[in-house]
Amino acid sequence: DQDLSDALRAKLKSYPDFPKPGINFLDVFSLYADLEGSQILNEVFIRKGRSVIGQIDVVVGLDARGFLMGPIIAREANVPFVPVRKSGKLPGLTVGTAYSLEYGEASVEIQKDAIPEKARVLIVDDLLATGGTLNAAATLISKLGLGITVTECFVLMELAFLKGRDKITSKVSCTLSFD
């Protein structure tokens, strides 16, 4: 696993001062644009999915890059995939919440009936920065009631110095940590 993380770290492109001054943007798409990078990502997600077989009932992926990884993880874990989307994008009855982002304000929604009663949920996304997005999603999912619990949040990359994981009450795991 360390070899895979090291290979990804070496291939990852970052963009200083995007989308705002002071933000160093870690571009996960730079890994998908690299054939070997894309294969390694696939392997990382397959391993993650296999590691949670029997421990989770739903994978929730966050808009937008959580949609690249969530379905692979869900398929390997033999559970359904459900999206949390930026507000206004999902059809049917939805519930939503607003939150602060590293660079601005945002709000997200989930379909009201998307997650079954008593489900154990794994939330996935590409990046944990301030933790605002993951915390909003976890809170939203817990508010659905029905005995639903967020058992784990998995991110590909974590900006550990922002201490975003302190906002998250569930277990947090990551592949690449940046100090």
Q: Could you tell me how many residues make up the chain?
A: 179
The residues that touch ligand PRP, with contacts defined as CB under 6 A, are: 62-65, 101-102, 106, 125-133, 164
Annotated active-site residue 76? The verdict is no
- Using the minimum distance from each CB to ligand PRP, give the nearer residue, 50 or 143: 143
Catalytic residue among 50, 102, 105, 120: 102
Pair 104, 48: CB distance under 8 Å? no
Cα separation, 85 vs 102, whole angstroms:
18
Annotated active-site residue 102? The verdict is yes
Cβ count within 10 A of residue 66 = 27
Q: How far is the CB of 16 from ligand PRP (least distance, A)?
A: 16
Q: How far is the CB of 101 from ligand PRP (least distance, A)?
A: 5
Cβ count within 10 A of residue 37 = 20
- Using the minimum distance from each CB to ligand PRP, give the nearer residue, 87 or 111: 87
Nearest residue to 137 (alpha-carbon basis) of 102, 111, 114, 108: 108
- Using the minimum distance from each CB to ligand PRP, give the nearer residue, 133 or 175: 133
Catalytic residue among 43, 47, 50, 65: 65
**Catalytic residue positions, numbered:** 65, 102
